[in-house]
Amino acid sequence: MPVPLVSFRQVSYEYPRSERPALLDVDLDIRAGEIVGLTGATGSGKTTLCLALNGTVPQFFGGRFYGRLLVEGRDTLDHPIHEQAAGVALVLQDPSAQLIAATVEQEIAFALENLRVPRAEIVLRIETALAAVGLSALRARHPHTLSGGQQQRLALAAAFATRPRLMVLDEPTSQLDPRSALGVFALIRELNAQYGIAFLITGHAPEEMAATVQRLVVLAGGRVVADAPPEDVYRDLPLLSRNSIRPPGVTVTFAQLAERGATRLAPPIRLEVGLEQIKHLPAPRPFDPPVATPAQSGVPILSLDRVSHVYADGTRALTDLTLEVHRRDYLAVLGQNGAGKSTLLRHFLHLLQPTEGSVRIDGALLATYSAPELAQRVGYVPQNPDRQLFNATVEAEVGFSLRVLSLPPGERERRIHTVLDSLGLLPLRHRHPFSLSRGDRARVVIAAVLALEPEILVFDEPTTGQDDEGARAILDLTRRLNQEGRTVILVTHHLSLLPGYANRAILLRGGRLVLDASLRTAFHDLEALASTDLQPTHAVALARAADDRLRTFTPEELAGLYGAHPTSQGSTP
Amino acid sequence: MTSPTLHSVGRSTGFVALDFRAKAAIFVAASCLAILWDDVRFTVGLALIVLAGCRAAGISGSYLAFVLRVMSPFFVLLLGTHGFFNQQYVLRLTGQEQLTALIAVPEPWWVVGGMVLSKEGLLYGATAVGKSLTFLLLVPLCVFTTDPNQWVVGLVRLRIPFKFAFLISSTLRFFPLIFDEIQAVRETQRLRGFALETMGPLERVRTYGRIAVPVILSAMHKAQQIEVVLQSRAFSGRSDRTYLHSPELGAAGWITIVLSAAAVVAAVIVELTTGLGRFVTL
């Protein structure tokens, strides 16, 4: 049997001053040319394992390292990190944070120069790498002017150019829109097929993982708890549930069909297989979607009237956008990167002003509100909660927001207590916010925002970087706040998470409003989705494959149409 | 989100392509001239030439306008302090016994009564403004037009130890990260109702103090990430590496260095022999 490319033998590791091991008794082999997926809950040790592969752990971070890790037969402890770069290329999750040169081609050349590759060879490798990732035309561009997807492709090209035996990609698509994520995974498959490079890919993207990896490893508490073909792992729903891993939508749907006796086949993990299989099932019962709640009349709480925005450099980000958001709406804002979502959000928050048109709250121009007044009307939860944390305790963090208000004695304390209690943060009230998990830090920011009792809550990609449980917990909270009477506006790329939460969606493309409809209608407007390169969710694609007239949009709804016992139909319009 | 960078020139110009050592020569020569000259026409002229150089090198007009706007109170202060108070030094420069009064504050006025704004002092203030502006603009002219990696390469060629060159390069990468973080945190704080512009000075200082916590934590995290990225891409700090674009000085670089050196030598000789460049009262 050939020697594996990577061999973890009883590897354990503790970061300095850490109370628990980040890796524990890891035994894992990766063979040459293999694509291995690595998944697990947030904090399960995925990134640490990646960083161990080129010696960054423990050489850069320190800490205690036990066991043996061999890459290409060499112990990672015996060679400095920069020497190991020749064999192992590491790509981190934030593409923009790893770009260091002034031009695209210099970015690729950087590692090659450090590895003392002759100039003529560098030129050749740049050509090959740029062609492989489709960036040849952008060679002279500054890397920071590229889109997120292009930046990640550039990071892959820079890694690939070193001709590594192994490429380690730590959540390579977590910050990308769906179109870019698909492109990155397609590129991984191509590089593997053409050049035989082995890949270790971490992430929470089950659909893409299922279509790409040959083996899937699950980490929990730093231990390997599963190491099997992706079919076996993704079909083990209890294992996934225990480890906060979202299975592919097609797998969930077929598991539910099997539960109802509609099929005896093992649930597929790839959509194309599911689409084929569902055509061979008996015809589903007809589906009557619940009647959508009619839009509220009266003055909208937030309105944009023919808003356009052109940035100082001439970039037109929004064009003639008219939108009304009513009280208690739960609005999902969808679109690819560059579609204008962030620009739109910044208009809601008065961080940008329209170059044409107007933005109003309750009929009054947004520009007439002072910062404290606006904060009491519109609460904003950013993608990175850490930027809003700057107090020594959770309690002080929430109370700090209230300093802008002139509250009667006792009212401040009452509000802090109420908010902390409602978000389950009372037990953590004396903890330092940065000592909490990412999910808890997000809740602290939400609590600080809620203390001002805003009517409108704006969430920017709140589920990015969260595992399934973390994402659900945050979305559950947004639903609760909506049910309590608040208007919620949420920007996300994770379409499959939205059913059961949002009741309305808008779709942006190139700064224009393409669609404004109920979530169900939006999910089934395949033409509009295609026009923005958004893929329908697995549940929607399967429903339409089963019967083009079906308008189910969750696995539960679709499975409910098969088998002997009809179930109550979905409640989200 | 994109990471900020000091290399902010949006287009490639001949100056951008110039070897860092040639830019360093310009930096040193212009600094020497700014120190040497006390003639307001020369210092202000030099500042204007550097300003024009910045524009020609591709530095945005909005950035230069920002620098001028931010520094204008300081320039007014320079004119005022030299005009009103720098009498002894200016008298020594002119060799006169008395300065020419432009404005005399009436004696009975509280505190400022009796103060005199002199023409010569004001001229020397303008000279100081020219010198300051030259120094201020030379930094973006040389820094913004040079990729941090080229800094490292250029400094290594100047026989600066690689570790030191790498430290400078890392610092150049680090500062924009901090500015970016400050901006982001200020923005998010504003969304929690804190409008810094409406706060008193003390409250503003306190708020900035609090902002420092997430700013420093986040910037340190990013700096650490860059460090991991650099090492993962075989960056070792060793000088024996190859280069895609070999940082050879080339004809343009050598000409720049020779001309820069010649300009300084000529200015010194002219100043010593003819007095041109010394303070004049116009």
Q: Cβ-count burial of A18 within 10 angstroms (0-12 exposed, 13-18 middle, 19+ buried)?
A: exposed
Q: What residues make up the domain containing A256? A: 248-282+539-573
Interface of B with A in 132-151 (CB under 8 A): 147-150
> Residue A9 pLDDT more than 70?
yes
Close Cβ partners of B155 (under 8 Å, ≥ 6 residues apart) = B20, B164, B165, B168
What span, in angstroms and rounded, lies between the C-alpha atoms of A284 and A564? 11
Calculate Rg over the CA atoms of chain A: 25
Predicted local confidence at residue B163, as pLDDT: 65
Q: What is the ipTM of this complex?
A: 0.80
One domain, residues A306 and A446: yes
One domain, residues A513 and A450: yes
Q: Least CB-CB distance to B5: which of A144, A162, A380?
A: A144
Q: Cβ-count burial of A437 within 10 angstroms (0-12 exposed, 13-18 middle, 19+ buried)?
A: exposed
List the one residue out of A223, A220, A258, A222 whose CA is nearest residue A241.
A220
**B160-202 per-position pLDDT tens digit:** 776 677 677 767 766 766 777 777 777 877 787 777 767 778 8
* Residue whose entry in the numeric block shows the structure tokens 């620009």: A343
Size of interface A-B (CB pairs under 8 A): 166
To the nearest whole Å, the CA of A408 is away from the closest chain B CA by 18
What span, in angstroms and rounded, lies between the C-alpha atoms of A101 and B191? 34
Q: Does residue A103 belong to any structural domain of this protein?
A: yes
* Residue whose entry in the numeric block shows the structure tokens 């990167």: A337
Sign of CA dihedral B179, B184, B189, B190: positive
Predicted local confidence at residue A365, as pLDDT: 94
Q: Does residue A276 belong to any structural domain of this protein?
A: yes
pLDDT band, residue A220 (cuts 50/70/90): very high
**A86-97 per-position pLDDT tens digit:** 999 999 877 777
Check CB contact of B227 with chain A, cutoff 8 Å.
Answer: yes
B193: which chain A residues are within 8 Å (Cβ-Cβ)? 371-372, 374-376, 401, 404-405, 452
- Cross-chain Cβ contact B225/A162 below 8 Å: no
> Residue A476 pLDDT more than 90?
yes
> Residue A424 pLDDT more than 90?
no
Q: Does residue A333 belong to any structural domain of this protein?
A: yes
* Residue whose entry in the numeric block shows the structure tokens 């260091």: A100
Predicted local confidence at residue B204, as pLDDT: 78
Check CB contact of A82 with chain B, cutoff 8 Å.
Answer: yes
- Cross-chain Cβ contact A115/B234 below 8 Å: yes
List the one residue out of A212, A206, A202 whose CA is nearest residue A236.
A206
Predicted local confidence at residue B7, as pLDDT: 47
Predicted local confidence at residue B1, as pLDDT: 38
Q: Does residue A466 belong to any structural domain of this protein?
A: yes
Sign of CA dihedral B62, B64, B66, B72: negative
One domain, residues A24 and A53: yes
List the one residue out of B8, B174, B142, B150 whose CA is nearest residue A113.
B150
**A309-351 per-position pLDDT tens digit:** 998 878 899 999 999 999 999 999 999 877 899 889 989 998 8
Check CB contact of A428 with chain B, cutoff 8 Å.
Answer: no
- Cross-chain Cβ contact B234/A376 below 8 Å: no
One domain, residues A276 and A341: no
Q: Give me B138's structure tokens.
A: 């030379």
One domain, residues A373 and A399: yes
One domain, residues A329 and A185: no
Helix (H, G, I), strand (E, B) or coil at A341: helix
A111 neighbors A85 (Cβ within 8 angstroms): yes
Interface of B with A in 51-80 (CB under 8 A): 62
One domain, residues A488 and A549: no
Helix (H, G, I), strand (E, B) or coil at A552: coil
Interface of B with A in 200-219 (CB under 8 A): 210-214, 217-218
Q: Least CB-CB distance to A387: which of B12, B185, B230?
A: B185
> Residue B248 pLDDT more than 60?
yes
Provide the number of structural domains found in chain A.
Answer: 3
Check CB contact of A552 with chain B, cutoff 8 Å.
Answer: no
Helix (H, G, I), strand (E, B) or coil at A536: coil
Range with the poorest average pLDDT among A22-36, A81-95, A541-555, B136-150: B136-150
> Residue B38 pLDDT more than 60?
yes
To the nearest whole Å, the CA of A444 is away from the closest chain B CA by 13
One domain, residues A145 and A257: no
pLDDT band, residue A15 (cuts 50/70/90): very high
Q: Least CB-CB distance to A99: which of B3, B189, B236?
A: B3
Check CB contact of A109 with chain B, cutoff 8 Å.
Answer: yes
Q: Least CB-CB distance to A390: which of B191, B214, B233?
A: B214
Check CB contact of A90 with chain B, cutoff 8 Å.
Answer: yes
Average pLDDT of chain B, as a whole number:
84
